[in-house]
Amino acid sequence: MGEIRIAIAGVGNCASSLLQGIQYYRENGNSLGLLHEKLGGYGIDDIKVVAAFDIDVDKIGKDVSKAIYAKPNKAPKINELEKTGVKVQMGPSPDIAGEITMSEIKKADEETVDITSVLKKANADVLVNLISGGSDKASRLYAEAAVKAGCGFLNATPSGIVNDLSVSSAFKKAGLPVVGDDLMSQMGATAVHIGLLEFLDKRGVKIEESYQLDVGGGGESINTLEKTKESKRIIKTEAVKKHVPYDFELVSGSADFVDFLINGRDSFFYVKGKYFGGSDFVLDMKLSTEDGPNSGAVLVDVIRGLKIAMDKGAGGPLEAVSAYGFKRPPRRYMMQEAYKQFREFTS
Ligand SMILES: NC(=O)c1ccc[n+]([C@@H]2O[C@H](COP(=O)([O-])OP(=O)(O)OC[C@H]3O[C@@H](n4cnc5c(N)ncnc54)[C@H](O)[C@@H]3O)[C@@H](O)[C@H]2O)c1
């Protein structure tokens, strides 16, 4: 089928796991931990990084294969990445005005490159936005550059891109696909919470109240604590609520940063309700995951979804791909329906 040439904005933990994962599947030839081995004829090893942007002094100027292990990244090391020949370049940082407090990012003193020119020169198909949450202005600049360069755009961040009509309509006008917003990780707390509640509802249980809260250790947990706690709570609660056909007390959000968890995340689930004869039940559950790898399986699927859309000439917000891979898609479906729509679109 050919290559899928990706540019990455934000060489953090998700980018690290994504690139290590691509090499892992190329070397091992298995499908352990994947949702789809092939999509529309594309395998994982068809994905190739051709450009990368960051703002951190420890990453700028380095080959991506080295930058993914640089501080403050903490994603688990799966393998030693082969040299890519792609150097991390300085991106725009309009959201950072010296107000960083706990963040471990050290902004480089470098000129910002022209993102559009870099994307064009690299002949990128897709720009994957993996910058820190809360960087709304920068996310918008990357999206605008993708339109100008003729690239598809994947917004893994909680910033509103697909849901911002002024941005998503530019993609539609240009006939370029865009997916988002806020990636829903493979074993992410939101995906597991949705699956749990859909299951209980299907088993005839009446759910009365539920919460899902988590604590994490990566840089993104600092961002959530300092910048996106409220918006994440709204996004996550909305994402879950739509999957049960009646109202009940529901809270879904992130609680705090725990540095010794490194790139780990502990997610706590609580559900209270009634079953046969009005009997009460309480369910308490804890899930421990690593943030970086948790994003990988969904990222490789939605990247391929974007390329397939480009091959088909489909532009604008992709409803099926977004509903499958993101917490805040332009249109929501029940989980099984979202899988079905995604598979139909990518087949
Ligand atoms: N499983 C997951 O980890 C997961 C799930 C859903 C959404 N997300 C979203 O994906 C994004 C990446 O998550 P992460 O865990 O890799 O974060 P991270 O903190 O590990 O990495 C973010 C990277 O972006 C860089 N950056 C910040 N501002 C930038 C800018 N203006 N231009 C270029 N680079 C910039 C930082 O230096 C850092 O290298 C976040 O927005 C997060 O909310 C992640």
Nearest to 333 by CA among 345, 321, 315: 321
Instruction: List pLDDT tens digits, range 165-215.
Output: 999 999 999 999 999 999 999 999 999 999 999 999 999 999 999 999 999
290-305 per-position pLDDT tens digit = 999 999 999 999 999 9
Strands in 217-338 per DSSP E: 249-257, 264-275, 279-290, 316-317
Distance CA(265)–CA(303), nearest Å, equals 24
Whether residue 99 is predicted with pLDDT greater than 70 in this model: the reply is no
Domain residue ranges of the chain, discontinuous segments joined by +: 4-184+293-346, 189-290
Atom in ligand 1 nearest the alpha carbon of residue 184: 6
Rg (CA), the chain: 20
Exposure of 103 by Cβ count < 10 A (0-12 exposed, 13-18 middle, 19+ buried)?
A: middle
| pLDDT band (50, 70, 90) for residue 313 | very high
- Can you give the pLDDT at residue 232? 86
On the question of pLDDT at 218 being above 90, the answer is no
Nearest CA to ligand 1 atom 29: 131
219 band by pLDDT with thresholds 50, 70 and 90: confident
Q: Over the stretch 79-95, which tens digit does the pLDDT of each residue have?
A: 999 999 999 999 999 98
In angstroms, what is the span from residue 244 Cα to ligand 1's centroid?
30
Mean pLDDT over the full length of the chain:
95
Torsion of CA 79, 298, 61, 219, to 10 degrees: -90
Give the distance, in angstroms, between the CA of residue 334 and the centroid of all CA atoms in the same chain.
19
Mean pLDDT within 135-148:
97
Confidence band of 229 (pLDDT split at 50, 70, 90): confident
| Ligand 1 binding site (Cβ under 6 Å of any ligand atom) | 9-14, 53-56, 91-93, 105, 130-133, 135, 138, 156-158, 182-183, 185, 188, 218-220, 291, 294-295
pLDDT tens for residues 33-74?
Answer: 999 999 999 999 999 999 999 999 999 999 999 999 999 999
Tokens of 342: 């995604």
Q: Is-contact 142 135, C-beta < 8 A?
A: no
Paired residues of 266 in beta bridges: 215, 288
Does residue 102 surpass a pLDDT of 80? Answer: no
Tell me, in angstroms, the distance from the centre of ligand 1 to residue 347's CA. Answer: 30
pLDDT in tens, 249-289: 999 988 889 999 999 999 999 999 999 999 999 999 999 99
- In this chain, the answer to whether the domains covering 4-184+293-346 and 189-290 adopt an identical fold is no
Q: Which CATH number, 3.40.50.2300, 3.40.50.720, 3.90.1150.10, 3.10.300.10, labels domain 4-184+293-346?
A: 3.40.50.720
Across 10-16, average pLDDT: 97
For residue 245, how far is its CA from the centre of ligand 1 (angstroms)? 33
**pTM for this model (two decimals):** 0.97
In this predicted structure, the answer to whether residue 221 has a pLDDT above a threshold of 90 is no
pLDDT for position 101: 54
CATH label, 189-290, candidates 3.30.360.10, 3.40.50.2020, 3.40.50.300, 3.90.190.10: 3.30.360.10
CB 103 within 8 A of CB 226: yes
Ligand 1 pocket test, candidate residues 132, 162, 229, 288, most atoms within 8 A of CB: 132
